Amino acid sequence: TKLPVLVTGGAGYIGSHAVWALHDAGWPVSVIDNLSTGFKFALPADCPLYEGDIEDAALLARIFAEQGTCAIMHFAGSIIVPESVARPLDYYLNNTVKSRALIAAAVGAGVPHFIFSSTAAVYGTPEVSPVAEDAPQRPINPYGMSKLMTEAMLADTARAHPLNYCALRYFNVAGADPQGRTGQSTAGATHLIKIAVEAALGKREQVGIYGTDYATPDGTGVRDYIHVSDLAAAHVLALEALAAAPTTSLTMNCGYGQGYSVREVLDAVDRVTNRKLVRQELPRRPGDADSLVSDNRRIMATLPWTPRYADLDVIVGHALAWERRLEDIRAAG
Ligand code: UFG
């Protein structure tokens, strides 16, 4: 049976891909989003959108009653590592305090299943790479800590109340809906692939490389880039797993288990566009780890997840297609 799902941050980048994945598979889906970084155009036309904040208990109670919500996918939050270093209290508010309000509302209304957008940033700088879920969790920035604190709240809540949860620790999410229905639309991008495709389309002069002296093969940061639609598919499968085993909670890395350096990513963009990006070598950015690559054996063993877009050039191609489409959307107002 397909349970009614509420997606927080559903008008945002990853959330909107999850909404489409649920919608395509026939799940009843509704969205709460304050539209601070999200867009209505990212959503299916028939998807109910509640404009508001996840700390609004009265609004949540109304949504749960109107939609019969049986599961929450919680994407709403702030996601920029360097911003979290500069404005830590905003991150603890948006990611920790407001998540607490949402979890409390879920418990109050008896919503049984909760899927949480966590992050590889909970590992800090891993001693062992690829990093597995039971590795030490020592975040090196407030972003990672704000998410780890929410994981802790969920673990304790699941022990005390009839709720099970799945925390998915995302590695570097990139790309866009292969059908071109949504993508990364937020202005002021900081994520590497988004910045690189903007530069490839002439929206930026150059791409900065933040650090060339990391302990990696070419000195630039290594990340495990995962296509956003594969990630969205993992959420739907995680929901099925939670519904099938209501007393079991899960914490799983979401990545392909393959790392690429900044230079390798920029090479991929050059290949896909058949041009050469202007690259500028810059100092390290605060809060960045050398290398973050997932050990993804747990998710591969737990969910029937078969990634469809595990190819850097495909990810870059979809990101580029969405970047072009965004120009049309913006031109149309
Ligand atoms: N980078 C550049 N130039 C840029 C942007 C990024 O060289 O213009 C480098 C970064 O220094 C890093 C890599 O590219 O080495 C990736 O940086 P992103 O900003 O794209 O992503 P982060 O790795 O900082 O963070 C992302 C998510 C986090 C998540 C983390 C997990 O934003 O939510 O991946 O790996 F926790």
> Residue 145: what pLDDT?
98
Which atom from ligand 1 is nearest to the alpha carbon of 210?
Answer: 7
Residue 113 and residue 202 share a domain = no
For ligand 1, say whether the CB of 312 is within 6 Å of any of its atoms: no
- Do 127 and 206 belong together in one domain? no
Range of the domain at 202: 192-222+257-292+309-331
Q: Is the pLDDT assigned to residue 332 strictly greater than 80? A: yes
| Arithmetic mean of pLDDT, 73-101 | 96
Helix residue ranges, H only, the chain: 13-24, 57-67, 81-86, 88-91, 98-109, 142-160, 192-200, 228-244, 262-273, 297-302, 312-331
* Number of domains, the chain: 2
Answer whether residue 180 is part of any domain.
no
Residues 94/77, Cβ–Cβ less than 8 Å: yes
H-run or E-run covering 250: strand 250-254
Q: Helix 262-273 to helix 192-200 angle, to the nearest 10 degrees?
A: 30
Ligand 1 center to 192 CA (angstroms)? 6
Question: Are 21 and 75 within one domain?
Answer: yes
Q: What is the pLDDT of residue 287?
A: 77
Q: Is the CB of 72 under 6 A from ligand 1?
A: no
Check residue 15 and give its pLDDT.
98
pLDDT (tens digit per residue) in 237-278: 999 999 999 999 999 999 999 999 999 999 999 999 999 999
The predicted structure's pLDDT at residue 189: 86
CA of 127 to the centre of ligand 1 (A): 19
277 and 245, same structural domain? no
- Does residue 143 carry a catalytic annotation? yes
Q: What atom in ligand 1 is closest to the CA of residue 207? A: 8
Asked if residue 183 belongs to a domain, the reply is no
Distance from the alpha carbon of residue 191 to the mean position of ligand 1, in angstroms? 5
Whether residue 103 is found in the same domain as residue 150: yes
ipTM of the shown complex: 0.96
pLDDT tens-place string over residues 225-239: 999 999 999 999 999
Residues 168, 214 within the same domain: no
The answer to whether residue 100 sits within a structural domain is yes
Note whether residue 36 is domain-resident. yes
CA 174 to chain centre: 9
Q: 65 with 213, same domain?
A: no
**Catalytic position from the list 143, 165, 225, 309:** 143
82 lines ligand 1 (CB under 6 A): no
Question: What pLDDT score does 191 carry?
Answer: 94
Are 74 and 141 in a shared domain? yes
Average confidence (pLDDT) over 118-140: 95
Tens of pLDDT along 166-223? 999 999 999 999 999 999 999 888 899 999 999 999 999 999 999 999 999 999 999 9
